[in-house]
Chain A
């Protein structure tokens, strides 16, 4: 098969090319106010593993897009950048952005075989909306993947049942464009040593008479590292009693460790911590170097969000709490005694 000069062989190659195009991924790259979301950097790495070209799609307002495009140019693995600017994309609602993505994908000359994003709240809202219009499934929250260029099929693994089982699914070559979202803790973020990909602008698709209008966004401000990407996380549960004790007990420890703060559902429901800090099946999934679970019993739904952490430390009064079954280091003690002591001793 190495005789490429033979006409016969060349024809055979052309034919095989027609049935299974080499992969070309479109990564929906998210940014907030011009800063690229770290999850999108992991999505780029996952897209690169398909073994073909990787294009990044950047949408937003004219104020932010040029800066983001400059940042994306420097990222490793990006072969080209597609950007689209419109005042309508300043707050990228699925209803306004999906017509653009649909148009890009419907253009047969673009040759996209995969659409990739982080499993973020924004992309989770957008990708399935677009994929349904193209009669394709969206595979959510994949943790590994492999692409078979001959058959055009892609195999994914993804957690199901709150991470208590791992499903391996194959999207066959008959699905021309495969949509998937990527669990960012399972892929390293793309590094910034790229060669400077070429950027092309795509005409925005203006949506007249939009059915949905953005009113406002409220982002919980914090000086601590972002929960999703922090290398250390200190999490609190119901045992923290109230918002004040939650703050008073956990924040000094988090600060001493340079850690992000997380919470169990019980703590969030009781109002001790903001919703965006919830770790678990229905909240954030984290996999830091260090996860400290303080006053958290360790329900299935919570474990789903943190059991891939490298070192799990649990502090709980109840020696039978399920959290101790996954903790590398457990301390059975009253958190009100030991957390201040730990903070104090760490600071020394």
Chain B
């Protein structure tokens, strides 16, 4: 059977607004969380996901029909979507939650994404279904690293986690992915539709240029509520407290190698 030439890719890129990676966070005095009155930006792994989607378009041109960014979060998260649009996404969806609401759990996020994909597939039959979801491998705030796998499980799709290289063959409807695994790398061939999670190694995200930032302001952002998608954000896990990790105090400096060796010996460390 000849592969259909009209096969077009629709890519969904979920992004998260997180505390900027360079911020030294502080636990709040109530021990309920951290002080969030600090600089936020797009989760670094998600920037890589957006970049990869944009590169796929640059490589496959018209074969990429759409790149849609999605975020779930308070009203301010729309900034993160604007960033994704400035980087090259075509449109965005903002599933808005109240400012004070806790950040939804990964499983609820995965259910939201599944609902969005099903909604897209039901409504936009002429554009074709979503074929590819590219997510960061983890958010640098909760460090869970599970959303992509949850989503692939819920949809029953193939998954390629910790991707460091992604090659999509639009005609064959499959992708070759190199994954970062413990001790080395692994190469897998996945049929589309596919969920990919990005490793740091996948690419180097570009900076949004000023004209693109201006253009992004005109790109469509749809606002939805969790109830529009029939998803319940009541947490399954209960956060009892958030505390500071035990403080480590620097033990001072030594003047030379001999003193260093003396300190090692003191700690019982000798040459093997």
B105, B151, B152, B238: the one contacting A170 at CB < 8 Å is B238
A138, A284, A326, A338: the one contacting B146 at CB < 8 Å is A138
Residue A258 interfacial (CB < 8 Å): yes
Residue interface mask B107-133, A partner, CB < 8 A = 1: 100100000000000000000000000
A290 touches B153 (CB 8 A): no
Q: Which of B181-207 contact A (CB under 8 A)?
A: 181-191, 199-201
Query: Which of A138, A226, A232, A265 lies at the interface centre, i.e. has the most chain B CB atoms within 10 A of its CB?
Result: A138
Q: Which of B228-246 contact A (CB under 8 A)?
A: 236-245
Given the known interface contacts A122-B181, A342-B260, A346-B261, the answer about A169 and B159 at a Cβ–Cβ threshold of 8 Å is: no
A330 neighbours in B (Cβ, 8 Å):
250-254
B271 touches A211 (CB 8 A): no
B138 touches A121 (CB 8 A): no
B161 touches A125 (CB 8 A): yes
Query: Which of A93, A136, A211 lies at the interface centre, i.e. has the most chain B CB atoms within 10 A of its CB?
Result: A211
B162 neighbours in A (Cβ, 8 Å):
121, 125
A113 neighbours in B (Cβ, 8 Å):
none
Q: In the bound complex, what is the Cα–Cα distance between A45 and B22 (angstroms)? A: 35
B185 touches A164 (CB 8 A): no
A256 touches B271 (CB 8 A): yes
With both chains docked as a complex, state the minimum distance between the C-beta of B160 and any C-beta of chain A, in angstroms: 7
With both chains docked as a complex, state the minimum distance between the C-beta of B199 and any C-beta of chain A, in angstroms: 8
B141 touches A217 (CB 8 A): no
A121, A131, A174, A276: the one contacting B150 at CB < 8 Å is A131
| Stretch among A2-10, A12-20, A153-161 lining the B interface | A153-161
B264 neighbours in A (Cβ, 8 Å):
290, 311, 313, 329
Q: In the bound complex, what is the Cα–Cα distance between A307 and B248 (angstroms)? A: 8
Residue A137 interfacial (CB < 8 Å): yes
Residue A328 interfacial (CB < 8 Å): yes
Residue B25 interfacial (CB < 8 Å): yes
B25, B152, B239, B267: the one contacting A161 at CB < 8 Å is B25
A164 touches B184 (CB 8 A): no
B138 neighbours in A (Cβ, 8 Å):
282
A127, A161, A329, A346: the one contacting B34 at CB < 8 Å is A161
* Chain B: number of interface residues, binned into ranges: 35 or more
With both chains docked as a complex, state the minimum distance between the C-beta of A207 and any C-beta of chain B, in angstroms: 11
B149 touches A129 (CB 8 A): yes
B21 touches A167 (CB 8 A): no
B242 touches A218 (CB 8 A): no
Query: Per DSSP, are chain B's interface residues mostly helix, strand or loop, or mixed?
Result: mixed
Q: Which of A243-275 contact B (CB under 8 A)?
A: 255-259, 265, 269, 274-275
A342 touches B245 (CB 8 A): no
A338 touches B257 (CB 8 A): yes
With both chains docked as a complex, state the minimum distance between the C-beta of B202 and any C-beta of chain A, in angstroms: 11
Q: In the bound complex, what is the Cα–Cα distance between A217 and B258 (angstroms)? A: 44
Q: In the bound complex, what is the Cα–Cα distance between A216 and B165 (angstroms)? A: 14
B158 touches A276 (CB 8 A): no
Residue B170 interfacial (CB < 8 Å): no
Q: In the bound complex, what is the Cα–Cα distance between A141 and B142 (angstroms)? A: 11
Q: Which of A115-173 contact B (CB under 8 A)?
A: 120-122, 124-133, 135-141, 155, 158-172
Q: In the bound complex, what is the Cα–Cα distance between A162 and B142 (angstroms)? A: 9
Residue A331 interfacial (CB < 8 Å): yes
A165 touches B146 (CB 8 A): no
Given the known interface contacts A140-B144, A161-B143, A290-B269, the answer about A213 and B189 at a Cβ–Cβ threshold of 8 Å is: yes
Q: In the bound complex, what is the Cα–Cα distance between A329 and B256 (angstroms)? A: 11
B143 touches A141 (CB 8 A): yes
Residue B219 interfacial (CB < 8 Å): no
Residue A325 interfacial (CB < 8 Å): yes
Considering the complex, give the chain A residue whose CB is closest to the CB of B197: A125
Q: In the bound complex, what is the Cα–Cα distance between A331 and B257 (angstroms)? A: 8
A162, A269, A326, A332: the one contacting B143 at CB < 8 Å is A162
Considering the complex, give the chain B residue whose CB is closest to the CB of A130: B153
A276 touches B143 (CB 8 A): no
B182 touches A276 (CB 8 A): yes
Considering the complex, give the chain B residue whose CB is closest to the CB of A213: B189
Q: In the bound complex, what is the Cα–Cα distance between A264 and B154 (angstroms)? A: 35
Q: Which of A196-244 contact B (CB under 8 A)?
A: 211-220, 226, 228, 232
Residue interface mask A294-322, B partner, CB < 8 A = 1: 00000011000001001111000001000
With both chains docked as a complex, state the minimum distance between the C-beta of B20 and any C-beta of chain A, in angstroms: 11
Q: Which of B142-182 contact A (CB under 8 A)?
A: 142-147, 149-154, 157-162, 164, 176, 179-182
With both chains docked as a complex, state the minimum distance between the C-beta of A243 and any C-beta of chain B, in angstroms: 16
B185 touches A275 (CB 8 A): yes
With both chains docked as a complex, state the minimum distance between the C-beta of B226 and any C-beta of chain A, in angstroms: 17
Given the known interface contacts A137-B105, A164-B25, the answer about A329 and B263 at a Cβ–Cβ threshold of 8 Å is: yes
Query: Which of A126, A164, A169, A329 lies at the interface centre, i.e. has the most chain B CB atoms within 10 A of its CB?
Result: A329
- Enumerate the 7 nearest inter-chain pairs by beta-carbon distance, A residue then B residue, closest first: A258-B272, A128-B149, A128-B146, A328-B251, A132-B153, A132-B150, A129-B153
Q: What are 10 A-B pairs with beta-carbon distances under 8 A?
A: A137-B237, A161-B25, A168-B239, A257-B271, A282-B199, A289-B269, A330-B251, A331-B260, A345-B257, A345-B258
Interface residues of B (CB under 8 A from A): 19, 21-22, 24-25, 27, 34, 105-107, 110, 137-138, 140-147, 149-154, 157-162, 164, 176, 179-191, 199-201, 236-245, 248, 250-261, 263-264, 267, 269-272
Besides the known contacts A169-B240, A217-B187, A329-B264, 11 further A-B residue pairs in the complex with CB atoms under 8 A apart: A131-B146, A161-B19, A164-B25, A165-B25, A212-B191, A218-B185, A258-B272, A276-B180, A290-B269, A338-B260, A345-B261
